[in-house]
Each structure stands twice: as C-alpha cells, then as structure tokens.
Amino acid sequence: MTSRVPFYMLISLLIVVGLGMSIYRHDVYGVPWTAGQKHQVWEVEARVEFEAKGEPVKVSLATPDTQSGFTLINEHTSSPGYGFALVNTQDGRRAEWSKREATGQQILYFKNQMLVDENAKFATEPPLGDVSPIALDGPLKTAAEAMLEQARQRSADNSTLTRELIKQFNEADSQNASLLTKEMSKADAVVAILSLENIHARVVGALQLEDGRRRQSIISMVEIWDGSDWQLFNLDSGSIDASKDLLIWNEKGTPLLEVVGGTNSQVSFSIISQDISPQQATDEKIQAESLLNFSIHSLPIEEQAMFKTIMLIPIGALIVVMLRVLVGLKTSGTFMPVLIAVAFVQTQLVPGVVGFLLIVGTGLVIRSYLSRLNLLLVARISAVIITVILIISVFTVVAFKIGLIEGLSITFFPMIILSWTIERMSILWEEEGAKQVIVQGGGSLLTAVLVYLAMTNEFVRHITFNFIGIQLVILAVILMLGNYTGYRLSELKRFKPLVKD
C-alpha cells in the first residue's frame, strides 16, 4: 500500500508557502486583505528660487528617501533648460541642477510622492568614528559648559540629557542660552553642546504634513544616537517626536540647499494629500522597489487586466470540485461551467443565461437533424461549430436591431466549448433520454451561476489578484478534496431507507 505521508506533506507545504507569501505581501508591502480601502499619498513640491549672476549655475537640494511611515514612490522635476540628476552621496540623496549660463530670477521645482506606509522603515545607519567637539569661543564655551553641567545633573542618559538641554533653550530667562543663540541657531547650539559630551547629534530638516499648505518652510530638529537608534527631538517641546505627519526631508544633517553661481537663494514647500486605491498603492510600491518586479503588478496594464480574469479560474475549479465531489451535482463536461461563468462575467448574468439557453436549445434542435444524416464524428462536430457561430451571429444582429445592447456581448461565449456541449447533450438525449439532459444541463447552468457569483465578488477578485499565494492554498484544498471517498450529499436520499431500517 502506497504511503500517504508524502501527499499530506505536499498539501501542508502548499498551504504554508501560500499563506506565507500572502502574509508577507500584507505585512511588508501593505496590501490590504479586503478591497475598498484607501491609502494616503502626500505630494510635496519644493520651489527653489535664486538670482543667477550670468555664469555657470549648479544647484543641489537635499531630498528625502523611504523612511519610517513613508515609502517614496515617485519623484520628478520641472526645470526647463537645466540638466538634472538624482545623486546618492555619503551625506544622503540630493537633486542636482546644472546650466552653462543663467541670468536673472530662476525658479526650479522638485516634486515627490510619499505613500503613507506603516511597514516602511529607515535603514538605520550607526555613526562612524568618534565625536569631534565643535570649537566654541571663550564666552560661548563657558555658557555651553554651564548648560551641559545643569542638564547632566537632571538626566540619566543621552535622551534625557538632550531633553533637559532643550528645555534650557526654551526658558526665557536663560542668559547662557541667549548668548549662544545670538551666534548660531538653536539646533546648531544643541548639537555643539552635545558634542562636548561625546554624543553623536545632527541637525535634520522636517516638514509638518498638512493638506493644502503653501510656502511652508523646513523645520529644524535635532537627532541623537542613543546607542542603538537615532532619536528625533522637537526643539519647541524638547520631547522625542513620533508624529505620523512629520516627513524628514534632510536626514543626514547636510545643508538643505546649495547654490553655485547664484545669490539670494531660498526654498519653500507646498503640500497636498490624496487617496489612492490599494492596487494603485501596490503598483506604485512595486515600481519603487525593484525586488518585486516578478509580480503581476509589474506587468503592463493590458496584461494585468487579462491575469485578473485568469486568476479567478482556480476559484471556479474549486467550486466545481466541491459540487461534484461533495454534493454529487452532475454537469455536462467537467469544467465547461467554469468557462461559461467566465463568459457570464463579460455578458452579465441575465443576458448570459438567456444567451446560453438560446444557443444550446437551438443547437440541440439542429444537432438532432444532423444525427439523421449519419455523418462522421469530425464532420458532425465541425458542422455544429459552424452552426453555433451562425446562431450567435443571428442572435447578435437581432438583438442590435431591436435595441438590446446587452445581446451584443453574447459573442464572448466559447464557441468550441458550446459545440462540444451540444454534441454531448445530444448523445446523452439519444442514450438516456431528455431527463438526463435536463439534469446535467441544469447542473451545468447552476454551477456556472455559482461560479459567476464567486468570480464577481469584490473580495474574491481582490484576494486572488493581489495574493498569488492563495492559488497554492486553493491547489492544496483541491488535492484534499480529490482524496475524499465518502458519501455525497445527493446520495443521502438514496440511502435514507437503510437508515430507517
């Protein structure tokens, strides 16, 4: 007797792999389990202005990357006459414009789109080397050391030290803080004092995301290394900032904007929010992340639309197997109802059922005449195929003439399958009578309707297209059903007398 262990191991493997792939897509790429959800996208436009001096111009602007809570999905520029490139440097990503000669007022635009994505994370990079203390002149150094000593007494670690230090800068009566901020910005002063304590710190630029904001300036914040991760501090409150609507634009602490060949440079930001569907969000993420280019979403739209229907066929196959194996429903052909259901998806249910009954009914009448001619099988099938084509053509023209636009979609029916269905039903009529034709024809139509209802369900369409691993789970379930040898539901009536006895 053949061992069933490999069979059950195969089924288990299919289920584990299928569910694992689906959970991975949900957790890592944010694909929702249900349809109809919306994803938020922030579109940020940076406007760079400067006065060119009639000489070669080079402009460098810090740009954001994927970070905690946000996935970068698109970025482009609007700068006619300028060369443009996105450059990855040791100090982060930068957008660079260049032009051989420019004169007068210049305006450059840089736009990017950030998808709100709770699965997105910063690539944490620990600081390199030791901290180099920032040089401060005599009075400034004295003020910095005094503030540092006070903060050290009220703190327990690097995070609380930074918090206490920022609190001193926010006190109106702090003379030491006033002295330092006269010579440098609050952010630079905090970083300078922390360098005296050998704490890695840097100034970063952030944007407060608010829909419809125009001409917004960058917000200076301080990031410190706590030994395992970078922590972001709000300079107004002194607390660690974990706001979901805060976008880090310049994370490496480098200058936000550098202009060579121009003066009076400045940059401002405009922000809008929009909602997109889960499929759009997935498409955008896949285009942004090349590791998933093998996904269906990386295909052209036309091919994606085709696969959206193809991925529904396993659902139809599962329903057919369940109805035949567990229920015992008889159909004309094994998977003919699935193909008919696919046609129903194109024609809609009511026009599809009417068209199916008209074609099969008329085809059976014509097939009964062909049977009297004693033709060979190949010739008879060919004649039936041609007859089905003529029937579909006539019905389509008649429907158009009387104004039934829905009737035009009858051309989506699979002609070869319908021809074989008519041939099988005709032979069944001759061998077992009209009752069996009605039983199997009705079973086929019922199955096709149930498959159609499943295929047009929004949740089923979403889950089969966006989670390919579900196909492996369906395959495992079909294999398990193929191992079923018990009674069918339709057989319970036949064995009912035995139960009474």
Q: Which long-range contacts (CB under 8 A, 24 or more apart) does 119-123 make?
A: 119/27, 119/28, 119/29, 119/30, 120/66, 120/67, 120/68, 120/69, 120/70, 120/71, 121/67, 121/68, 122/67, 122/68, 122/230, 122/251
Residue 327 DSSP label = I
Contact 400, 362 (CB under 8 A): no
CA–CA dist 245, 208 (Å, integer): 6
234 and 327 co-located in one domain: no
**318 and 243 both lie in a single domain:** no
Based on the domain organization, do 420 and 348 belong to the same domain? yes
Q: Are 344 and 414 in contact (CB under 8 A)?
A: no
Neighbours of 401 (CB within 10 A): 9
Q: Flag whether 275 is in a domain.
A: no
Claim to verify: residue 323 and residue 443 sit in the same structural domain = yes
Asked if the structure places residue 289 within a domain, the reply is no
Answer yes or no: is 318 within a domain.
yes
Whether 229 and 344 map to the same domain: the answer is no
448 with 326, same domain: the answer is: yes
Residue 434 belongs to a domain: yes
Could you tell me the CA-to-CA distances from 94 to 22, 75, 90, 113, 217 in Å, in that order?
36, 12, 10, 16, 18
pLDDT, tens digit only, all 501 positions of the chain? 567 788 888 888 989 998 888 888 777 666 777 766 677 888 888 999 999 988 999 999 999 888 888 888 888 888 888 999 998 887 778 999 999 998 999 999 999 888 887 777 766 677 777 788 888 888 888 888 899 888 888 888 888 899 989 988 888 778 888 888 888 888 889 999 998 888 888 888 899 888 877 788 888 889 888 877 888 898 887 777 767 788 888 877 778 899 999 999 999 999 888 777 665 666 655 555 544 444 566 555 556 667 777 888 899 889 999 988 888 888 877 778 888 888 787 777 887 788 788 888 888 888 878 777 777 778 877 888 888 888 778 877 877 777 665 555 555 566 777 777 787 788 777 777 778 888 888 888 898 899 999 988 888 888 888 788 889 999 999 999 888 877 777 766 666 666 555
Terminal CA-to-CA distance of the chain, rounded, Å? 35
In a domain, 76, yes or no: no
For residues 321 and 398, membership in a common domain is answered with: yes
CB atoms within 10 A of CB 461: 19
Return the closest-CA partner of residue 206 out of 271, 160, 115.
Answer: 271
Q: Measured in whole angstroms, how far is the alpha carbon of residue 305 from the centre of its chain?
A: 16
Contacts of 141 (CB under 8 A, 6+ apart): none
Rounded distance between C-alpha atoms, residue 61 and residue 265, angstroms: 11
Residue 181 maps to a domain: yes
Q: Is the pTM of this model over 0.75?
A: no
The DSSP-derived string for 179-201 is HHHHHS-HHHHHHHHHHHTT--E
Give yes or no: residues 428 and 319 share one domain: yes
* Strands lying side by side in the sheet with 201-208: 230-233, 219-225, 201-208, 246-250
Provide the residue range defining the domain that includes 432.
Answer: 306-466
Strand partners, 250: 205
Helix (H, G, I), strand (E, B) or coil at 247: strand
Whether 276 is covered by a domain: the verdict is no
Q: What is the domain count for the chain?
A: 2
Do residues 240 and 317 both lie within one domain? no
Residues 310 and 424 in one domain: yes
Residues 245 and 178 in one domain: yes
Q: Confirm whether 224 is domain-assigned.
A: yes
Same domain (yes/no): 350, 221: no
